Amino acid sequence: MRVSLIQAFFLLVSSFSTFAYGGNLNDDIEIQWGDGRGKISSDGKLLSLSLDKFSGSGFFSKHKYLFGRLDMEIKLVPGNSAGTVTTFYLSSQGPAMEPNHDEIDFEFLGNSSGNPYTLHTNVFAHGKGNKEMQFNLWFDPTQDFHTYSILWNPKNIIFLVDNVPIRVFKNHETLGVPFPKSQPMKLYSTLWNGEDWATQGGKVKTDWSKAPFIAYYRNFTVNACIWSPAEGQSSCPSSKNTWFRQELDVESYRKMRSLQKKYRTYNYCKDMMRFLGGTSRECTVREKDI
| Residues with catalytic function | 103, 107
* Contact (CB, 8 A) for 28 and 62: yes
**CB-based burial of residue 73 (10 Å sphere; 0-12 exposed, 13-18 middle, 19+ buried)?**
middle
In order of 151, 216, 224, the CA distances from 164 in angstroms are 12, 21, 20
Spatial neighbors of 207 by CB under 8 A, at least 6 apart, are: 80, 82, 83
Give the H/E segment covering residue 158. strand 156-161
**CB-based burial of residue 25 (10 Å sphere; 0-12 exposed, 13-18 middle, 19+ buried)?**
buried
Across the chain, how many H-helices and E-strands are there? 3, 15
Question: Residue 166 CA to chain centroid, in angstroms?
Answer: 12
Q: What are phi and psi of 201, to 5 degrees?
A: 65, 25
* Contact (CB, 8 A) for 216 and 74: yes
In order of 56, 181, 188, 196, the CA distances from 62 in angstroms are 20, 20, 10, 31
Give the H/E segment covering residue 259. helix 250-263
Q: Alpha-carbon distance 148 to 136, whole Å?
A: 14
Best CA proximity match to 67, nearest among 20, 114, 13, 26: 13
Question: Residue 130 CA to chain centroid, in angstroms?
Answer: 15
